[in-house]
């Protein structure tokens, strides 16, 4: 599809842009700044603030001949419109002349700024936006120096309105541009904000209970062109010019949003630099200019007083502080002793460098490397995953996206957003799940399957399985897709189920040839930021983790807490001769360990992560690490050194180079390649006059996709093993299915006190019919006996859920990772 191009003149510039472009964007292309307030390139334009008024002239066309009338000198005659027009709503047209420098335009800008300031409190000294405020910038650029409005006649409004527990509204500063309202309605479809009243009394309200119930709420504070919306987290925290930005990658989910940590010294942290806020960093291929509230507000863990800062060793049954030297020497000796008996269990939170060094260390001993996850299928995302040139933002008409067994809105909010937008651009979206999810609303085909039958459902999409007619039409919709991306997750599934599901999804992609080229492939909705990186390096979950741990001579746990996760694993770990734990906190596993090594958190060190889209991205140190902690890769290297193994431990970049030499997927990559920045369009970065506080320019790298593992034309290796099926029928017991919530009781969320109200609790949701069968009623406390543990839950009725099973979130204090049969009992009230 070729786009029709239009040529127009803007002041002294001539510019060619695609038809349909707004004048304001065309002007940006040639560096002409047309000031705006209500306009934002990611939102529909409304032309409310009238700041962007410009003079527009169009060629005069002779009605009779249909030809452009020419001046004496042969140039087309231009008829200027009598009134000024809004540049943010007017599409370009051929031969158009836009004048932005005339006295008339200058007067209009001055006058509109004056109007806006008549009701603005001008409390810049105490305003959090002061210093990065588009209104401040535009007032400086276009406003008049004096005021004709009497200060005492100003409108007075409430200055402290909590819209929710996270976002505060200052009604006096609000200039009614509606960016926040439109963002909530148009971009993220959480229409919880609205205008209320009219005229000068027009104000922003929230319509949800609890207030501002949206996982994207923080973004409204970024796009607010004044200081009307502020986050409870950052409110009065610092002035923008006092903070130093440090580029990083959000490590809360596999999306890998590009972020910036804003850092300054803080007195109450005894003068140490701390993270004051998290802001998005523009990367149009990953997160555009948005981040979710989890990424924005879960950053307090690294300041916690509970951090481990000294190696601990079990002496006489007690964990006792020891020196690093003693700890490392003991560990090295144990590793040597263990040899093949070394089992390294790594979590997906570790960086590529950590995983690489741990793998090298373990392999040198002949030990086993395991990934601690409840989700399988990485062998397929490794071979069929996305590669260079892929961008969910480029999917649209003619393309297809399949999302199966995942509640993207909760598991990876930015993927949800981008998949939704792709569907709105015309991509065929097929959503398969045992229960309804938020993505259904945008799906061309929202299909249901029996709990546990996800793989069969995908087989149904291929016509290999008997399925209802709806699958048939979805299959036909898929047939003609130019590009196909399949997301698979673990909603209602465990390790076995997801592995089978991934294989079936791989079959689907292979059958239709949708792999090995940009914008085609398989994406795992992993639970951790770097699960994909671990898979790329050959880490995989153990089929029988209990058995593996039990047999281990030395169990090395890094960013993994099997003891806290499951009683069975706790029992198994007790069987290991020696347990080494690398952790930030004294987790349940660390408490049982023989040796605990404190590690640095992501904002305290360098490294890189591989996103679910197979994009390797760098993060940079933002704050100094507490004394006594070391990055995981350094610890592994120092252990290696004592075992006569030459591992790189000095700098993450050097480790990455080794990784690039050793692992084909990383071949040719380097930190230099990852930190290459590209011009991003639209321009909404910091240097911009009117999107001032929106987002940070991405100067520290867009990251880059990993290399394809398959050679051109090569087919993935087939897996011969028959697929086990997961528990689908619990007999007389209740079948409890796990799902993942954004704000769970995971180890890092709990340090953000603001999020307490949003954190998922142990609520068992089930269809009323099922509830009745088990004698449960709305709101009752029940006791579940599953996986060998007793857990108490609150019962919630949900008509939308299919009967026959119950849903319970992961990481809410119940050891539930895969579908489980539970004995359920109503608890007696006290």
Residues that bind other proteins (CB under 8 A): 37, 45-51, 53, 83-84, 89, 108, 111-112, 114-116, 118-119, 121, 123, 125-126, 130, 148-150, 153, 155, 159-160, 175-176, 194-195, 197-202, 235-239, 241-242, 265-268
Contacts of 282 (CB under 8 A, 6+ apart): 258, 288, 289, 680, 684, 685, 695, 696, 697, 698
**Nearer to other proteins by C-beta: 270 or 672?**
270
Is 54 in a helix, a strand, or coil? strand
Contacts of 468 (CB under 8 A, 6+ apart): none
Shortest reach from residue 200's CB to other proteins, in Å? 4
Beta bridge partners of 448: 433
What DSSP string describes 182-244? HIIIIIS----EEEES-GGG-EEEE-SSSTT--TTTHHHHHH-SSTTEEETTTTTS--GGGPE
Shortest reach from residue 112's CB to other proteins, in Å? 6
Shortest reach from residue 270's CB to other proteins, in Å? 11
**Closest residue by Cα to residue 278 from 256, 300, 303:** 300
CA distance 475 to 296: 39
CA distance 268 to 358: 37
Shortest reach from residue 508's CB to other proteins, in Å? 36
**Nearer to other proteins by C-beta: 227 or 452?**
227
First-last CA distance in the chain: 69
Residue ranges in 218-314 assigned as alpha helix (H): 218-223, 293-297
**Nearer to other proteins by C-beta: 157 or 670?**
157
**Nearer to other proteins by C-beta: 175 or 602?**
175
Residue ranges in 681-781 assigned as alpha helix (H): 768-773
Is 314 in a helix, a strand, or coil? strand
Which tokens sit at 59? Answer: 């060629």
CA distance 139 to 116: 10
Preceding omega of 682 cis (within 30 degrees of 0): yes
Is 303 in a helix, a strand, or coil? helix
Shortest reach from residue 118's CB to other proteins, in Å? 5
CA distance 429 to 646: 49
Shortest reach from residue 157's CB to other proteins, in Å? 10
Shortest reach from residue 44's CB to other proteins, in Å? 10
CA distance 830 to 823: 21
Shortest reach from residue 301's CB to other proteins, in Å? 22
Phi-psi region of 74 (alpha: psi -120 to 50; beta: other; left: phi over 0): left
Shortest reach from residue 198's CB to other proteins, in Å? 5
**Nearer to other proteins by C-beta: 37 or 301?**
37
Under a CB-based contact definition with an 8 Å cutoff, are residues 27 and 92 in contact? Answer: no
**Nearer to other proteins by C-beta: 65 or 146?**
146
Q: Where are the beta strands (DSSP E) in 250-398?
A: 258-266, 272-280, 312-315, 318-321, 342-346, 368-371
CA distance 594 to 578: 6
Shortest reach from residue 514's CB to other proteins, in Å? 35
Which tokens sit at 553? Answer: 């001579």
Residue 746, Cβ density class (10 Å: 0-12 exposed, 13-18 middle, ≥19 buried): buried
Phi, psi of 655, rounded to the nearest 5 degrees: -65, -40
CA distance 204 to 184: 12
Beta bridge partners of 429: 401
**Closest residue by Cα to residue 257 from 231, 284, 232, 234:** 284
Shortest reach from residue 219's CB to other proteins, in Å? 22
**Nearer to other proteins by C-beta: 86 or 456?**
86
**Nearer to other proteins by C-beta: 241 or 721?**
241
* Burial 206-228, CB ≥16 within 10 A → b, else e: beeeebbebbbbbbbbbbbbbbb
**Nearer to other proteins by C-beta: 157 or 792?**
157
**Nearer to other proteins by C-beta: 268 or 466?**
268
Q: How many CB atoms lie within 10 A of CB 710?
A: 16
Which tokens sit at 255? Answer: 């999306």
**Nearer to other proteins by C-beta: 176 or 527?**
176
Shortest reach from residue 64's CB to other proteins, in Å? 20
Is 826 in a helix, a strand, or coil? strand
Shortest reach from residue 143's CB to other proteins, in Å? 13
**Nearer to other proteins by C-beta: 200 or 715?**
200
Shortest reach from residue 411's CB to other proteins, in Å? 33
**Nearer to other proteins by C-beta: 63 or 83?**
83
Shortest reach from residue 665's CB to other proteins, in Å? 46
Shortest reach from residue 38's CB to other proteins, in Å? 9
Shortest reach from residue 597's CB to other proteins, in Å? 34
To the nearest 10°, report the CA torsion of 142, 145, 151, 154: 0
Under a CB-based contact definition with an 8 Å cutoff, are residues 194 and 204 in contact? Answer: yes
**Nearer to other proteins by C-beta: 235 or 715?**
235
**Nearer to other proteins by C-beta: 162 or 567?**
162
Which tokens sit at 769? Answer: 């019919």
* Burial 291-300, CB ≥16 within 10 A → b, else e: bbbbbbbbbb
| 461-466 LR contacts (CB < 8 Å, sep 24+) | 461/402, 461/430, 461/432, 461/508, 462/504, 462/507, 462/508, 462/511
Shortest reach from residue 510's CB to other proteins, in Å? 42
**Nearer to other proteins by C-beta: 155 or 441?**
155
């Amino acid at each position: 599809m070729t786009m029709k191009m239009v040529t127009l003149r803007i002041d002294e510039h001539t510019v060619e842009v695609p038809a349909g472009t707004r004048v304001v964007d065309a002007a940006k292309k040639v560096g002409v700044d047309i000031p705006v307030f209500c306009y934002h390139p990611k939102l529909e334009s409304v032309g409310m603030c009238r700041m962007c008024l410009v003079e527009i002239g169009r060629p005069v066309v002779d009605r009779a001949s249909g030809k452009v009338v020419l001046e004496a000198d042969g140039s087309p005659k231009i008829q200027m419109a009598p009134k000024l027009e809004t540049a943010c709503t007017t599409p370009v047209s051929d031969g158009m002349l836009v004048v932005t420098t005339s006295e008339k335009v200058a007067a209009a800008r001055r006058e509109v700024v004056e109007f806006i300031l008549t009701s603005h409190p001008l409390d810049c000294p105490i305003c959090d936006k002061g210093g990065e405020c588009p209104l401040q910038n535009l007032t400086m650029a276009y406003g008049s120096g004096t005021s004709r409005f009497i200060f005492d006649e100003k409108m007075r409004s409430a200055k402290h309105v909590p819209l929710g527990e996270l976002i505060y509204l200052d009604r006096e500063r609000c200039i009614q541009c509606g960016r926040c309202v439109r963002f909530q309605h148009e971009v993220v479809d959480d229409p919880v904000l609205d205008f209320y009243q009219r005229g000068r009394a027009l104000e922003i309200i929230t319509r949800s209970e609890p207030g501002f119930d949206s996982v994207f709420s923080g973004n409204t504070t970024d796009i607010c062109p004044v200081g009307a919306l502020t986050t409870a987290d950052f409110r009065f925290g610092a002035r923008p010019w006092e903070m130093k930005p440090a580029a990083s990658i959000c490590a809360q989910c596999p999306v890998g949003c590009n972020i910036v940590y804003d850092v300054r010294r803080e007195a109450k942290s005894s003068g140490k630099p701390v993270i004051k806020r998290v802001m998005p960093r523009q990367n149009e291929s990953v997160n555009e200019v948005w981040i979710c509230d989890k990424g924005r507000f879960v950053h307090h863990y690294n300041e916690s007083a509970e951090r481990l800062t000294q190696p601990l060793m079990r002496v006489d049954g007690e964990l006792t502080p020891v020196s690093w030297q003693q700890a490392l020497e003991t560990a090295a000796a144990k590793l040597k002793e263990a040899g093949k008996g070394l089992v390294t269990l790594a979590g997906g939170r570790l960086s590529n460098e950590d995983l690489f060094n741990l793998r090298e260390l373990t392999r040198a001993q002949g030990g086993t490397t395991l990934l601690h996850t409840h989700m399988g299928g990485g062998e397929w995302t490794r071979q069929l995953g996305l590669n260079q040139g892929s961008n969910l933002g480029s999917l649209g008409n003619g393309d297809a996206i399949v999302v199966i067994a995942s509640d993207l809105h909760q598991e990876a909010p930015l993927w949800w957003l981008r998949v939704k937008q792709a569907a709105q651009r015309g991509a065929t979206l097929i959503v398969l799940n045992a229960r309804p999810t938020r993505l259904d609303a945008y799906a061309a085909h929202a299909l249901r399957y029996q709990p546990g039958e996800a793989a069969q459902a995908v087989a149904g999409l291929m016509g290999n399985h008997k399925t209802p007619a709806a699958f048939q039409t979805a299959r036909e919709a898929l047939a003609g897709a130019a590009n196909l991306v399949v997301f698979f997750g673990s909603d209602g599934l465990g390790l076995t189920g997801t592995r089978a599901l991934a294989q079936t999804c791989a079959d689907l992609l292979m059958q239709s040839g949708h792999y090995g080229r940009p914008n085609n492939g398989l994406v795992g909705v992993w639970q951790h930021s770097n699960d994909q990186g671990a898979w790329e390096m050959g880490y995989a979950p153990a089929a029988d983790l209990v058995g593996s741990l039990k047999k281990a001579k030395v169990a090395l746990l890094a960013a993994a807490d099997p003891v806290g996760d499951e009683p069975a694993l706790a029992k198994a770990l007790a069987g290991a001769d020696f347990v080494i734990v690398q952790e930030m906190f004294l987790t349940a596993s660390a408490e049982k360990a023989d040796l605990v090594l404190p590690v640095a958190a992501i904002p305290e060190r360098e490294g890189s992560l591989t996103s679910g889209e197979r994009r390797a991205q760098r993060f940079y140190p933002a704050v100094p690490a507490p004394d006594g902690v070391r990055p995981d890769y350094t610890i592994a290297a120092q252990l290696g050194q004592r075992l006569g193994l030459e591992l790189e431990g000095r700098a993450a970049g050097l480790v990455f180079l080794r990784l690039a030499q050793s692992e084909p997927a990383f071949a040719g990559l380097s930190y230099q390649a990852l930190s290459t920045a590209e011009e991003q369009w639209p321009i909404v970065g910091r240097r911009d006059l009117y999107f001032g506080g929106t987002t940070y320019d991405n100067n520290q790298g867009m990251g880059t996709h990993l290399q394809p593992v398959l050679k051109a034309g090569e087919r993935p290796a087939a897996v011969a093993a028959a697929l086990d099926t997961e528990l689908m029928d619990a007999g007389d017991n209740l079948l409890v299915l796990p799902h993942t919530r954004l704000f769970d009781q995971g180890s890092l969320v709990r340090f953000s006190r603001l999020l307490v109200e949003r954190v998922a609790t142990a609520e068992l949701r089930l269809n009323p019919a099922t509830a009745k069968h088990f004698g449960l009623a709305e709101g009752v406390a029940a006791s579940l006996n599953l996986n060998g543990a007793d857990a108490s839950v609150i019962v919630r009725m949900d008509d939308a859920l299919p009967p026959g099973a119950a849903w319970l979130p992961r990481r809410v204090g119940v050891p539930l990772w895969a579908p489980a049969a539970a004995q359920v009992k109503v608890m007696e009230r006290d």
